[in-house]
């Protein structure tokens, strides 16, 4: 049996996105695109360590996360930083983390761009591929046991579905019917490994059937379609009806990271074909058809976003680096004796050297 292909349909449970919401989401997509461009420039200048762009995947990320409540938990990868903006954080918060400066909420303890915003239920990403899947299922099971009205959404690329952690999590989620949504962004390439050589299955969504729950395929560049299918999946999980696997078929327009050169392994004609389906352009077309595209909207949106991104980057650059003493903080709830001794020894040496 093939996985279901999600289509935009009239949903009596929730009204369609209002014009003002579409305009807000469009602005956010433009803003995060320009943020990625600025971050890439900063990396090339040697001001930040590394960066992974979400260019081409903005609709999949923003469209899916927009349906969530603030109480819901999110286990992201390194490309879902736009969710932080959806949850009320600022561009400066994102830049602070990239610079690992004094204002960084995690004090430089995570290698950028492994961001974390605990107060917004946005869990830290980690470098091992796929490790977030069992963690997310565990959080969802805890919510079910404690009868919390919370849904957990876990993001991953199609390459992560080849990891054992993915299948362990899927099996556990299916058996225990935990309130979790697996959101797989099939962007065509797991660094240099194509999706075609990643699986023998007809899709990634179809894998859900082996674990006893639904898998759905959606056009990941169509924000409205992504929003609708994720809304249904989240509602299903919240009602206690179990998990869903969503495969958002999208494309990574840029390199995997700032240390990657995709020209070495993929055809530029393929990239060009996907650029014609840029999710920002597709949303503009949908808004024009609906009649919620004011004159000069695109120009003003881009200029406002450009200024906001530049201002946030400049403000973050002006922040000093964290005090070295913060190395000893937030490692344990109560600092153990040996770590306290190390901290005190460091402070004595720093005092003697005048640093």
How much is the pLDDT for 237?
A: 98
| Position 11 pLDDT exceeds 80 | no
- 242 Cβ neighbours under 8 A, 6+ residues apart: 173, 174, 177, 178, 179, 213, 236
Q: In terms of Cα–Cα distance, which of 3, 5, 58 is closest to 33?
A: 58
Question: Which phi and psi angles does 117 have, rounded to 5°?
Answer: -135, 85
Q: Using CA atoms, how far apart are residues 207 and 220, in angstroms rounded to an integer?
A: 18
- Distance from C-alpha of 312 to C-alpha of 214, rounded to nearest angstrom: 42
pLDDT tier, 327 (very low <50, low <70, confident <90, very high otherwise): confident
Which residue is catalytic, options 44, 265, 275, 348?
265
CB within 8 A of 270, min separation 6: which ones?
A: 188
Question: Residue 256 catalytic?
Answer: yes
Instruction: Please tell me the distance from the alpha carbon of residue 115 to that of residue 137, in angstroms, as a whole number.
Output: 20
| Average pLDDT of the segment spanning 296-318 | 97
- Eight-class DSSP state of 130: T
Cis-peptide, bond into residue 97, ω within 30° of zero = no
Would the pLDDT of 4 be above 80? Answer: no
pLDDT at 5: 75
Mean pLDDT of the chain: 94
Share of the chain above pLDDT 70, in %: 96
Q: Find the mean pLDDT for residues 45-66.
A: 96
- Distances from the Cα of 178 to the Cαs of 120, 140, 174, 234, 248, in angstroms? 21, 6, 7, 11, 21
Q: What is the pLDDT of residues 193-238, one digit of tens each?
A: 999 999 999 999 999 999 999 999 999 999 999 999 999 999 999 9
Give me the count of residues in the chain.
Answer: 355
Q: What is the DSSP string of 196-212?
A: GGT-SSS-SGGGGGGGT
Q: How many CA atoms lie within 13 A of 22 on its CB side?
A: 25
Catalytic annotation on 265? yes
pLDDT for the residue numbered 336 = 94
| Closest C-alpha to 339, from 325, 318, 321, 322 | 325
In angstroms, rounded to a whole number, what is the distance separating the alpha carbons of residues 105 and 179?
29
Q: Report how many helices (DSSP H) and strands (DSSP E) the chain contains, helices first.
A: 11, 8
> Residue 355 above 70 pLDDT?
no
Pair 226, 218: CB distance under 8 Å: yes
Task: Report how far Cα 221 is from the mean position of its chain's Cα atoms.
Answer: 15
């Amino acid at each position: 049996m093939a996985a279901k292909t999600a289509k935009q349909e009239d949903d009596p449970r929730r009204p369609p996105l209002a014009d003002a919401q579409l305009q807000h989401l469009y602005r956010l997509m433009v803003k995060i695109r320009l943020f990625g461009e600025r971050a890439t420039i900063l990396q090339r200048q040697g001001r930040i360590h590394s960066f992974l762009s979400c260019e081409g995947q903005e609709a999949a990320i923003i469209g899916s996360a927009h349906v969530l409540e603030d109480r819901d938990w999110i286990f992201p990868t390194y490309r879902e930083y736009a969710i932080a903006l959806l949850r009320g954080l600022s561009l400066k918060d994102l830049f602070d983390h990239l610079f690992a400066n004094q204002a960084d909420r995690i004090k430089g303890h995570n290698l950028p761009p492994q961001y974390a915003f605990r107060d917004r239920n946005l869990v830290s990403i980690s470098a091992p591929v796929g490790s977030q899947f069992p963690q997310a299922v565990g959080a969802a099971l805890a919510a079910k046991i404690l009868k919390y009205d919370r849904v957990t959404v876990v993001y991953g690329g199609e390459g992560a579905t080849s990891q054992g952690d993915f299948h362990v999590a899927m099996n556990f989620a299916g058996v225990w019917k935990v309130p979790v949504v697996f959101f797989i962004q099939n962007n065509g390439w797991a660094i240099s490994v194509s999706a075609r050589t990643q699986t023998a299955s007809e899709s990634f969504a179809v894998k859900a059937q082996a674990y006893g729950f639904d898998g759905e395929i959606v056009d990941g560049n169509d924000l409205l379609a992504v929003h609708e299918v994720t809304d249904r999946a989240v509602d299903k999980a919240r009602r206690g009806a179990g998990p869903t696997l969503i495969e958002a078929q999208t494309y990574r327009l840029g390199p995997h990271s700032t240390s990657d050169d995709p020209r070495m392994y993929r055809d530029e004609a393929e990239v060009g074909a996907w650029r014609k389906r840029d999710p920002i352009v597709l949303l503009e077309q949908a808004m024009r058809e609906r009649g919620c595209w004011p004159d000069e909207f695109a120009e003003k949106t881009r200029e406002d976003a450009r200024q906001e991104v530049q201002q946030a980057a400049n403000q973050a650059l002006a922040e000093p680096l964290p005090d070295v003493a913060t190395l000893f903080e937030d490692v344990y709830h109560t600092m153990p004796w040996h770590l306290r001794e190390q901290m005190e020894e460091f402070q004595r040496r720093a005092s003697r050297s005048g640093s």
